[in-house]
Amino acid sequence: MSTHVVASSEIDQVRKSLLAWYDKVHDVRGMPWRKRYDPSLGREARAQRAYEVWISEIMLQQTQVVTVIPYYNRWMAKFPSIADLAGSDIETVNGLWKGLGYYSRAARLLKAAQKVVKELDGRLPDNAKDMQAKIPGVGRYSAGAICSIAYNESVPVLDGNVHRLLSRFLALHAPPKGKQTLDILWAGATAFVQNSSRPGDINQALIELGSTVCKVREPACSGCAISSWCQAYRRTRGASSQDGKGHDADIEELCTLCEPLPVDEEEAGLVTLYPMKVGRKKAREELDIVNVVEWRRGDNSERWFILVRRPEGGLLAGLHEFPTVAAVSDSLAASKDDPVILDKLLATLFVDPPTLFLKDSNSQKVNCEATGTLRVAMIRPVGDVVHVFSHIKKTYRVQWVILEGGGDKPPKPQGESCLPTVPTREMIEEDGKDKRRKVSRASKGGNASTSAAQWVPLDEVESTNIGTGVMKVWKLTKALWE
């Protein structure tokens, strides 16, 4: 177990080498949020730096740096301060976030900013303990990153990159999400910043080293600033025992936490054996019925499409989508009751839903003598769209539904439509490696919260706040008439 502790006798040398390397690469990737720490900054200026780092850290969750940079620049141009963000609304925020994914992050940023302005005098907390306790969406990693970088507080970070780097540095081959494993890695991260005058730079250096040098595959060990002290690298150089000197370890010295290294000739002796590999949990598969509902004038001079705004919590929070029946069973999807399902869906959408419902098996328009009556004129299967989230594999089964009649304007939607758009299942929000479970509890027959429906002209659909999966649905449907 002593192998898995950062040696106090070496830490000063390790930090010196790490910081010397970081000072050379600090500006290489052009991250606009990465600035040199300035001890002369006053209270307001440090709080502003905390805001900038906070935005970058939330954007960087599950997202690559190269993707985040343009989003960050647009965000800061629109919301240069936390007060500017707090004064905004979810539609504007989601519009800036569009395409970045994990949309609940944007909603949490807005709510957190409003809380900071209302309850914390417009400034983010200046210590990690309060940051984690008082700011929604901020876990231990994010709190450590923000407060070490903006406030120079000596608190550690442990994101995926640092987790991998320290697992190799300490030759720790144990279940990566186990409590003992995480305790050891957090202790190692703490040793790096403890009593340091540059904790923010050390944390950023560890993250940068893990991202660019100590990579998942093909790590550049020969160019690593701390490889001389890395236990995994020492083993590749011929010292295979726990004592690091090539001697066979006594049974009393064997680690009771580490799992045996896999017997794989191709990987034998490689640092990529660390951290321990675990089988990835298979994504849950779900089938959604998506209805691209269009209303058009009889002369086709106007074409409108109805969109429904999702609830503020859960998957794709606050975004718009086409009316959807989510997580239907395979038997229901294969049944002949889909006209009945759509009929019920339309009844929830409109104040005066279509009174006539006929489906032509050849996807032809239904003849109806009552031309002034709102009616379903056509239903046409579009196809399937597969969209994968971190924990759900969605298959969107799309159909194009055309409504005609009912007057010179699209039929009036319900002010609030209780649509079954969100599965009543457990949603997992992730901040670095800190997981907190949020359960969406919906009442039978609909969501726990309601979603407003609205008509959007044909040429404005793509500019609304819709997610990537919905955009795929839209483009597949558009291909039918284009």
Residues designated as active site: 57
Residue 434 DSSP SS3: strand
CA distances from 339 to 289, 335, 359, 376, 478 (A): 12, 10, 7, 11, 22
In this structure, are residues 43 and 225 in contact, taking their beta carbons and an 8 Å threshold? no
SS3 content of the chain, % helix, strand, coil (to 5): 40, 15, 45
Report d(CA 325, CA 225) in Å as an integer.
53
Give the burial string for 208-243 (b: 16+ CB within 10 Å, else e): bbbbbbbeeeebebeebbbbebbbbbbbbeeebebe
Residue 284: name the closest of 392, 134, 146, 143 by CA: 392
**Total residues belonging to the chain:** 482
Residue 372: name the closest of 344, 407, 345, 402 by CA: 407
The two beta strands, 284-296 and 392-404, are: parallel
**What is the Cα Rg of the chain in Å?**
27
In order, the DSSP letters of 168-211 are HHTT--S-TTSHHHHHHHHHHHHHHHTT-S-HHHHHHHHHHHHH
Report d(CA 448, CA 438) in Å as an integer.
13
Question: Following CA atoms 215, 220, 226, 227 in sequence, which dihedral angle do they give, to the nearest 10 degrees?
Answer: 110
Which tokens hold the place of 419? Answer: 């649509």
In this structure, are residues 308 and 452 in contact, taking their beta carbons and an 8 Å threshold? yes
**Backbone torsions φ then ψ of 155, nearest 5 degrees:** -125, 145
Give the burial string for 315-354 (b: 16+ CB within 10 Å, else e): bbbbbbbbbbbbbbeeeebeeeebeebbeebbebbbeebb
Strand partners, 286: 394
Residue 432: name the closest of 178, 140, 217 by CA: 140
